[in-house]
Chain A
Amino acid sequence: AQTVTQSQPEMSVQEAETVTLSCTYDTSESDYYLFWYKQPPSRQMILVIRQEAYKQQNATENRFSVNFQKAAKSFSLKISDSQLGDAAMYFCAYRSVIYNQGGKLIFGQGTELSVKP
Chain B
Amino acid sequence: EPEVTQTPSHQVTQMGQEVILRCVPISNHLYFYWYRQILGQKVEFLVSFYNNEISEKSEIFDDQFSVERPDGSNFTLKIRSTKLEDSAMYFCASIETGGSGSPLHFGNGTRLTVT
Residues of chain A having any CB pair with chain B under 8 Å: 33, 35, 42-45, 47, 50, 52, 91, 95, 97-110
Question: How many residues of B are counted as interface, with CB atoms below 8 angstroms from the partner's CB atoms?
Answer: 28
B residues contacting A by CB (< 8 A) are 31, 33, 35, 37, 41-45, 48, 50, 55-56, 89, 91, 93, 95, 97-101, 103-104, 106, 108-109, 111
Which residues on A sit within 8 Å (CB–CB) of B89?
43
Q: In whole angstroms, how far apart are the Cα atoms of A95 and B44 in the complex?
A: 13
A-B contact count (CB 8 A): 66
**Chain B nearest CB, measured from A76 CB (Å):** 18
What is the predominant secondary structure among interface residues of chain B facing chain A? Answer: strand
List 7 tightest A-B contacts by C-beta distance, closest first.
A103-B98, A102-B48, A45-B106, A102-B55, A107-B43, A102-B56, A47-B103
Asked whether A103 lies within 8 Å of B99 as measured between CB atoms, the reply is yes
The CA-CA distance from A45 to B33 in the complex, in Å, is 14
